[in-house]
């Protein structure tokens, strides 16, 4: 058993688990909350941990997850690519904003 990574967003960890399982890598999610409670740590520190059953699978698993996060970054970059410049104050506004976050002017 080898820990791959931990992340507070359970959805994300679950998604990574699905990627690994699809690639035939045995893995599971361990929730640290019980251990945190036993250790007297606050429950807010509880977060899911993604582990591979076989240590030998770890390098391949890491590679798959790296591809996944690279693809995710690519999507983020594309979403941010249509930034626009506010006609009123000249501020750069993210593409998903319909009006300027600074002065409220509508997208020109
Ligand atoms: Zn503006």
> Which domain covers residue 61, as residue numbers?
2-81
> How far does residue 73's CA lie from ligand 1's centre (Å)?
27
Judge whether 86 lies within some domain.
no
C-alpha torsion 71→72→73→74, nearest 10: 50
> How far does residue 12's CA lie from ligand 1's centre (Å)?
34
> How far does residue 89's CA lie from ligand 1's centre (Å)?
4
Q: What percent of the chain is predicted at pLDDT more than 70?
A: 82
Higher-pLDDT residue of 9 and 62 is: 62
Tell me the CATH number at 33: 3.30.70
User: pLDDT tens digits for 55-81?
Assistant: 999 999 999 999 988 888 887 777 667
Judge whether 97 lies within some domain.
no
> How far does residue 98's CA lie from ligand 1's centre (Å)?
11
57 in Cβ contact with 17 (< 8 Å): no
Judge whether 48 lies within some domain.
yes
> How far does residue 92's CA lie from ligand 1's centre (Å)?
8
Q: How many domains does the chain have?
A: 1
**Alpha carbon separation from 9 to 5, 12, 20, 96 (Å, rounded):** 12, 5, 17, 23
Tell me the pLDDT band of 38, cut-offs 50, 70 and 90. Answer: low
Checking DSSP bridges between strand 84-85 and strand 92-93, what pairing results, if any?
A: antiparallel
Judge whether 107 lies within some domain.
no
């Amino acid at each position: 058993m080898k820990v791959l990574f931990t992340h507070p967003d359970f959805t994300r960890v679950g998604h990574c688990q699905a990627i690994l399982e699809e690639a035939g890598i045995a893995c599971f999610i361990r929730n640290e909350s019980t251990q945190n409670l036993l250790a007297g740590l606050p429950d807010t520190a509880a977060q899911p941990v993604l582990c591979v059953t076989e240590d030998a699978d770890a390098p391949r698993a890491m590679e798959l997850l790296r591809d996944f996060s690279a693809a995710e970054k690519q999507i983020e970059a594309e979403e941010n690519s249509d930034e626009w410049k506010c006609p009123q104050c000249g501020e750069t506004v993210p593409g998903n904003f319909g009006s300027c976050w600074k002065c409220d002017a509508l997208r020109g």
